[in-house]
Amino acid sequence: MFKTLKDADLDGKRVIVRVGMDVPVDDSGNITDDTRILEGLPTIKRLLRKKAKIILLTKIGRPKGKRVEKLSVKKTAARLSELIGVPVKAFDECVGSKVRAAVKSLKEGEIIFLENVLFHKEEEAKDTAFAKDLAGYAEIYVNDAFSSSHRDTVSITMLPKLLPSYAGFLLEKEMRIQTELLESPKRPFIAVLGGAKVSDKIRMIENLLKVVDKILIGGAMAFTFLRAEGYSVGDNKFEKDFVSQAKEFMKSGKIVLQSDAVAADKFDEGANTKIISADKFEKGWLGLDIGPKTVETFKKELNEASSIVWNGPMGVFEMDKFANGTNEIARFIAKSKATTLIGGGDTIAAAKKAGVEGKFSHTSSGGGAMLMVLEGKKLPGIAALENLSGNYN
Ligand code: AMP
């Protein structure tokens, strides 16, 4: 097990915190949703109460080792400062003499925010000198970035080897909720999966089949399964290489596929549409949403559930014409008395569009990281905290 903030002696200590404040921004760098800042507050407040000297580090977007102005931490630091009522000084780099001097003169309860760590190519290259520079700023390392903990980078897997290290409250909460759900779910436990590709989700399905009672599959990925069942799929794309795997999965008897679709004659909001039964797809038609029969079947199944995990939209929810199935299922899960877990960028966007954002027992802050947990794999960030907590030199 990894250590958490509650195990740490934080009083007056210099603490470097890898936060997950990877906020979405518009073209001018304005924050369009501050959820990820809000989710990081419990850890920061704890550190403030302990009068720690706080050094924050995050990534924003994918700048790939170069400075991209709109992805600077400046506005994130300003928003954080507003939220906690304490000044937060942002820097335009992570290392260098300016940062070193600022770290040295940090006083108890003061906060500095280093620049977007992905402006430095060293972060992903796992550069030792970069890791040592960052570790040199602090006596303690805290990982509160669940959303980046599936990555093997300096700030996620190397810093915990160089400093006594602890999980922050958000990381701890994400791991607790997801592990509990996988290890001792209230049953029946039902997974609802959708989205574009089976290939992205094959390992997750494999692992979920070991722990859930049923998997409901809709969206584009359903067509690979329907093909595996021997149906013609019209113009719908399916992943040839995964048909035999899908066939194997079907043998579990736990998978319920979409049985009809809102079909369109082109991939366009202005397309002609009709409802087609999933076993009778004609050429010239694409299934872009689950149909009414599927909505009813899925609701009936979900009505029985005591635990639900949802990942992936049921159709092209971005187009209003094909959003109905996703909306219906999102709202039904949101209203359910079951323990509900959702995650993934598209899934959260779909919940928002359906007007049920935040109406689940837990909305995960990490898409890729949640997928990896559901695949039954250990996150590199967690492995680094577990193996080497307190083991440093
Ligand atoms: P994923 O990232 O795999 O969860 O896929 C999400 C994307 O899948 C969304 O952008 C949806 O528009 C798309 N999607 C879901 N169902 C369909 C469908 N039946 N046909 C085409 N795209 C779909």
**Section 383-393 average pLDDT:** 63
Cα separation, 126 vs 131, whole angstroms: 8
In a domain, 383, yes or no: no
CA of 219 to the centre of ligand 1 (A): 6
Asked if 308 and 302 count as a contact pair (C-beta separation under 8 A), the reply is: yes
Is 78 a domain residue? yes
- Residue 165 reports pLDDT greater than 50: yes
Cβ of 124 closer than 6 Å to ligand 1, yes or no, is no
Q: Which among 311, 125, 302, 111 has a CA at the least distance from the CA of 200?
A: 311
| Nearest alpha carbon, ligand 1 atom 18 | 220
Closest by CA to 188, choosing from 24, 303, 109, 21, is 303
pLDDT digits (tens, 9 = 90+) for 65-85: 999 999 999 999 999 999 999
Q: Is the CB of 318 under 6 A from ligand 1?
A: yes
CATH number at residue 201: 3.40.50.1260
DSSP 154: I
Type of residue found at 335: K
**pLDDT confidence of residue 387:** 78
Residues 247 and 300 in one domain: yes
Distance 288 CA to ligand 1 centre (A): 8
Q: Is the CB of 196 under 6 A from ligand 1?
A: yes
- With a 6 Å cutoff on the Cβ, whether 312 touches ligand 1 is yes
- Asked if residue 116 has pLDDT above 70, the reply is yes
Same domain, 138 and 265: no
Q: What is the mean pLDDT of residues 23-45?
A: 97
Same domain, 139 and 197: no
- In which residue are the tokens 């066939």 written? 247
Average pLDDT score over residue span 239-249:
96
171 within 8 A of 146, measured Cβ to Cβ: yes
SS (H, E, C) 57-108: ECCCCCCCCCCCHHHCCHHHHHHHHHHHCCCEEECCCCCCHHHHHHHHCCCC
Query: Which residue type occupies 4?
Result: T
**Residue positions annotated with a catalytic role:** 36, 197, 345, 368
Q: Can you tell me the distance from the alpha carbon of 246 to that of 135, in angstroms, rounded to the nearest whole number?
A: 46
Looking at the fold, whether 141 and 194 belong to one and the same domain comes out as: no
Q: Does the pLDDT at position 388 exceed 60?
A: no
What is the token pair recorded at 282?
A: 């004609």
Domain end point (choices 102, 137, 171): 171
86 CA from centroid of ligand 1 (Å): 42
390 has a pLDDT exceeding 60: no
Residue 211 · residue 182 · CB < 8 Å:
yes
Q: Is 31 in the pocket of ligand 1 (CB under 6 A)?
A: no
Which of 237, 346, 374 best tests ligand 1's pocket when mutated (most atoms within 8 Å of CB)?
346
* CA dist 385 → 152, 163, 201, 389, 391 (Å): 12, 10, 26, 5, 10
CA distance 57 to 122: 14
pLDDT digits (tens, 9 = 90+) for 189-241: 999 999 998 998 999 999 999 999 999 999 999 999 999 999 999 999 999 99
Across residues 365-371, what is the average pLDDT? 95
Q: Residue 136 domain-assigned?
A: yes
Whether the CB of 287 sits within 6 Å of ligand 1: yes
Nearest Cα neighbor of 144 from 177, 120, 166 is: 166
313 CA to centre of ligand 1 in angstroms: 6
Query: Rounded to 5, what percent of the chain is helix, strand, coil?
Result: 40, 15, 40
Q: Is the CB of 262 under 6 A from ligand 1?
A: no
Longest dimension (CA), the chain: 71
CA nearest ligand 1 atom 5, residue: 195
Phi, psi of 139 (to 5 degrees): -100, -20
Residues 83-100 pLDDT 10s: 999 999 999 999 999 999
Ligand 1 atom 10: the closest Cα is on which residue?
316
- One domain for residues 164 and 213: no
In the structure encoding, which two tokens stand for residue 92, read together?
A: 């335009």
Distance between Cα 31 and ligand 1 center (Å): 26
3-class secondary-structure state, position 301: helix
Q: Residue 380 falls within a domain, yes or no?
A: no
pLDDT greater than 80 at residue 392: no
User: Would 58 be classed as within a structural domain?
Assistant: yes
Whether 126 is covered by a domain: the verdict is: yes
Which of 171, 202, 229 represents a domain boundary (last residue)?
171
Handedness of CA 141, 144, 145, 151 (dihedral sign): positive
The residue ranges of DSSP E strands in the chain, in sequence order, are 14-18, 53-57, 88-90, 111-113, 140-143, 165-167, 189-193, 214-217, 255-257, 260-264, 273-277, 286-290, 307-311, 339-342, 362-363
Residue 67 lies in a domain: yes
* Mean pLDDT, all residues of the chain: 96
CB 343 within 8 A of CB 311: yes
Does any domain span residue 382? no
- Pick the residue whose CA is nearest to atom 1 on ligand 1: 195
- 235 plus 153 within the same structural domain: no
Total domains present in the chain: 2
User: CB of 243 closer than 6 A to ligand 1?
Assistant: no
Kindly state whether residues 199 and 292 are assigned to the same domain.
Answer: yes
Range of the domain at 84: 5-171
Identify whether the C-beta of residue 342 lies closer than 8 Å to the C-beta of residue 309: yes
pTM: 0.94
Clarify whether residues 334 and 261 are in a common domain: yes
Pocket test for ligand 1, best of 316, 322, 353, 374 (most atoms within 8 A of CB): 316
Asked if 61 and 210 sit in the same domain, the reply is no
229 and 102, same domain (yes or no):
no
Lateral strand order in the sheet of 189-193: 255-257, 214-217, 189-193, 307-311, 339-342, 362-363
Task: Let me know whether 320 and 354 are in one domain.
Answer: yes
More confident residue, 392 or 302: 302
Looking at residue 308, the DSSP 8-state letter turns out to be E
